[in-house]
Structure 1
Amino acid sequence: MPVPSAASAEPNSRRPAPSSLWRDADFRRLWVGQTASQLGEHASLVVLPLLAVLTLHASAGELGVLRAVGQAPILLLSLLAGAWVDRWRTRTTMVLTDVGRALALGAVAAAGLFGGLGMPALLALAFAVGALSVFFDVAYQASLVRLVERDHLVRGNSALEGSRSAAQIGGPALGGALVSLLSAPIAAASSALFFALSFLSIRRIRRAETMPERPDRPPRIWRRIQEGLRFVAGDPVLRVVCLASAAFQFSFAAMMTVYLLFLPRELHLSGTVVGLALAAAGPGALLGSLLAARLPSRFGHGTVLVCAATLGDGVFLCVPALHGASAVTVPALLAVGFVFGFGGQLVNVTVMAVRQAVTPDGLQGRAAATITFAGMGLTPLGSLAGGFLAGWWGLRTGLLVAAAGMLLSPVVMALSPLARLGRELPAPHDTPPTAGRANSPDLTRET
């Protein structure tokens, strides 16, 4: 959809100047809502697998299926979410998905309290939460572009990714502790409360979003999806982002499936300690968010991407070597999580800023969704592969193989134009010519 420029916008819809970013009430509401939503999401990502392992005694294969079902909406719905978000209000999308996720996790709590919680119900609810999260994630990324100036996307992304880092600290620790110390229904209910808080904050955003024009013959949804696919596939930078993301997400999903089995069964750690080990990525990611606003402008975006990905992904190769008492393994796991969070967050913020910078306003949602589809769409297959590795080769060997696969991502980036990006963000790229462009005013980019 067209986004009005600062010169033509009404006063109540003008984007805040960089110096007033944190004084802008709508940006703060988005930040608070996104933080709460990420807390709920990260808590549920720990609660549901631990509930399956510790309460329902799920096997390696069943855990792989559970994670794959929760991640399947990324593959099935990302492109649809992108086309939807580019056409409708991002605020509406975010509040509706918050309500839906709160209700879904409330259903987990109710089923647990009444003794009706089993793998079939858990699979269905994990799919519902995953589907709604796809729409929320695409919407909040597109919403940021409508709130801040292009030259300060790194700063805006740094703020939002910093809140996600805080969620990585609190979410897994809270979810693991509640599953271990109290009960699975309470753990699920805690995640539902975070989504309710996100709903209350985001619904208070007052800045009006320009509704898309209604052409006489609006393009079909699949036509709009194809326009997003064509743009990303035709752009050399975004094409590499897709490939690197696919390599990382597949291997990371496999590694996490084995990791969630390796910690309690091979290292004999409690649910609380597992949550803390996962939460250790949060402080590292917080540091990465702070430095992400400075390092690319000093060393170059490409250099930061390759170095940070190599550091963050390679550190997991140390985990299969851990043995012995928790006094040794737990500090090592905390260090691994910190380094992974630091490197991963540098990559996340930098890639997101590059993607937003090269993409015209009317394609922001579809570009984000296409990259999500191409990258994270492979996570269900990765989760299944992780379950297979754990069952066939054992937890230690399977973890080593999956961790080694994560290094494919920095290799792809190092051999591509992405590695040669300098200190300045690239300029927006033109949309590819399409037969229906004249009838698609949402493709008009701000000049």
Structure 2
Amino acid sequence: MASPSSAASDCGRPVPSSLWRDGDFRRLWAGQTVSQLGEHVSLVVLPLFAVLTLDAGAGELGVLRAVGQAPILLLSLFAGAWVDRWRARTVMVLTDVGRTLALGAAAVAALLGRLGLPALFAVAFTVGALSVFFDVAYQASLVRLVDRDQLVRGNSALEGSRSAAQIGGPALSGALVAMLSAPIAAASGALFFALSFLSIGRIRRSESLPPRSERPPRVWRRIQEGLRFVVGDGSLRTVCLASAAFQFSLAALMTVYLLFLPRELHLPGTAIGLALAATGPGALLGSVLAARLPRRFGHGAVLVSAAALGDGVFLCVPGLRGSPAVTVPALLAINFVFGAGGQLVNVTVMAVRQAVTPDGMQGRTAATITFVGMGLTPLGSLLGGFLAQEWGLRSSLLVTAAGMMLSPVLMALSPLARLGRALRPRGTRRRPTTTRP
């Protein structure tokens, strides 16, 4: 497979030595940033609209979140197989257009007073399905766009932009729903996706794709190749299991959390948006730390410590009581620590995955990890709704927060915890279960 540098030379333009002097990387970064902002806006707008405007109960909110997350389980593996054979830029542009139309239609329906729960379910599923393809494609696109020695810096920039989206998305969506209307909030999400389409569509460099045979393997065979590759690597296998435990518990927790804030702590929409947005500044800190700590203390030690701290802080939430003057600052601190730990884990895990994965397997590996790691989130959301109804909000929060602690435990007991300061590509060592991929 030709390197991105040679692909760029074929187009008559050498790859700049600095990522930020590379116009195509800037276009990818800008498009991914606004796309992530649109995604985070929609993730908060749709549940808040259901709770605050349609007076949805715990069970209905659980179903709504499960419907939006179901495409992860249904489509992730297919998305990985297809992205490995398509141009990632084309996939990202088409999904941006689709999400623009879906949220635009939701805004129009809401303005006409016809955005009920069934329509909300349809919009959530559509946006979730298209987001699966976009997320797999943008992870694969970086490997095709930049040199291997630029991956850490590129990932740090892209994950930093996702952190910025976590700052702006919840705060903006909560404020728009509370002060203006759900149609405006949905329309803002559509606008972000449209801006992403305009930016990513201007990428000029040709992508270097794996050579295609005259008779390409069937989709199921390509999916099986991705599954075998991930299962055969001890580090990637642990990433899948730890991610599954975390995402399942987090989905259950967030269903309860979005009910706990307005109904138990009696917070208005703006305060909820502010509290959720505190995850973003924490994630920005996590992105900065991810560029330094793994190389100083080792990737394994950083992963276990960051996961334990970031997940464990949510055990404090069920104990919150009192006026917003007390609870809001506490929530800001909790979400900040959660964001920092979570982002540190995310960036470090992505560096591990990309280091051990060949170029032609990047899409399928990302999709397999997404499928296994997040495939159970619809069931987690349903469980959160059930627990909230049967056990009450505080007890449910405590149980689901404790469930997230299984993730750092699995990491600590696995070869992933022994990863050192340097990561080696898969080809440099034959044994897939080595402690240094």
The answer, yes or no, to whether TM exceeds 0.5 is yes
Query: Which of 356, 365, 373 is matched with 1:375 structurally?
Result: 373
Counterpart AA for 2:167: I
**Distance in 1, Cα, partners of 2:209 & 2:233:** 27
The answer for the alignment partner of 1:134 in structure 2 is 132
Deviations 1:140-165 (A, max 9, x none): 00011112222332211111111111
Task: Give the TM-score normalised by structure 2.
Answer: 0.96
C-alpha contact (below 8 Å) 1:15/1:146 kept by paired residues = no
- Whether 1:4 and 2:3 are equivalent positions in the alignment is yes
Shift of 1:213: 3.8
Q: Which amino acid aligns with 1:376?
A: M
8 Å Cα contact 1:100/1:132 also seen in 2:
yes
The runs of 5 or more residues in structure 1 that have no matched partner are 433-447
Q: Structure 2 vs 1, CA of residues 28 and 193 (structure 1 numbering), >3 Å: closer, same or farther?
A: same
Question: After the TM superposition, which residues 207-218 of structure 1 pair with which residues of structure 2 at under 5 Å, given as runs?
Answer: 207-218=205-216
* Equivalent residue number for residue 309 of structure 1: 307
Among 19, 22, 32, the alignment partner of 2:20 is: 22
SS of 2:21 mapped into structure 1: coil
TM-score when normalising by structure 1: 0.94
Measured in 1, the distance between the counterparts of 2:62 and 2:174 equals 19
* Counterpart selection for 1:39 from 18, 22, 37: 37
Question: Which residues of 2 match residues 11-410 of structure 1 at below 5 A?
Answer: 11-12=10-11, 16=15, 19-410=17-408
Q: Secondary structure at the match of 1:128?
A: helix
Residues 110 and 198 of structure 1, relative CA distance in 2, 3 Å threshold:
same
Counterparts of 1:93 and 1:13 in 2: how far apart (Å)?
25
C-alpha deviation, 1:25, in angstroms: 0.3
Residue type matched to 2:292 in 1? Answer: R
Structural RMSD (CA): 1.6
SS of equivalent to 2:426: coil
Taking a change above 3 Å as real, the CA distance of residues 161 and 253 of structure 1, as seen in their structure-2 partners, is same
SS in 2 for 1:22: helix
SS in 2 for 1:116: coil
Q: Is the 8 A contact 1:254 1:384 kept in 2?
A: yes
Q: 1:8 to 1:125 in 2, by over 3 A?
A: closer
Which residue pairs with 2:435 in the alignment? none
Distance 1:111 1:61 in 2: 24
How far did residue 393 of structure 1 move?
A: 0.5
Work out whether residues 24 and 205 of structure 2, in 8 Å CA contact, stay in contact via their aligned partners in 1: yes
CA distance in 2, matches of 1:213, 1:431: 24
Percent of residue pairs bearing the same amino acid type: 79
The Cα of 1:336 is off from its aligned counterpart by 0.4
Q: Name the aligned partner's letter for residue 9 of structure 2.
A: E
Residues matched between the structures, number: 430
Q: Deviations over 1:52-81 (max 9, x none)?
A: 001111000000000000000000000000
- What is the rounded CA distance, in whole Å, between the counterparts of 1:345 and 1:69 in structure 2? 25
CA offsets, 1:366-401, max 9 Å, x none?
Answer: 000000000111110110111011111000000010
- Give the drift of 1:5: 6.1
Instruction: Indicate conservation of the 8 Å contact 2:304/2:408, yes or no.
Output: yes
Counterpart-to-counterpart distance in 2, 1:361 and 1:14: 22
Contact 2:58 2:389 in 1 (8 A): yes
What is the alpha-carbon distance in structure 2 between the residues aligned to residue 11 and residue 295 of structure 1? Answer: 37
CA contact (8 A) 1:277 1:334 kept: yes
Q: Tell me the amino acid that sits aligned with residue 295 of structure 2.
A: S
SS of the equivalent of 1:157 reads helix
Q: Aligned AA for 1:111? A: A
- Contact 1:112–1:185 at 8 Å: present in 2 too? yes
CA offsets 1:285-305 (integer angstroms, 9 cap, x no match) = 001111111111111000110
- Cα distance, 1:129 vs structure 2: 0.1
CA contact (8 A) 1:231 1:431 kept: no
Instruction: Evaluate the alpha carbon distance shift between residue 134 and residue 13 of structure 1 in structure 2; reply closer, same or farther with a 3 A threshold.
Output: farther
* Alpha-carbon distance in structure 2 between the residues aligned to 1:379 and 1:15: 43
CA distance in 1, matches of 2:14, 2:78: 27
Aligned position for 2:422 = 424
Q: What is the CA distance between 1:11 and its match in structure 2?
A: 4.7
8 Å Cα contact 2:5-2:15 kept in structure 1? no
CA contact under 8 A between 1:93 and 1:139: conserved in structure 2? yes
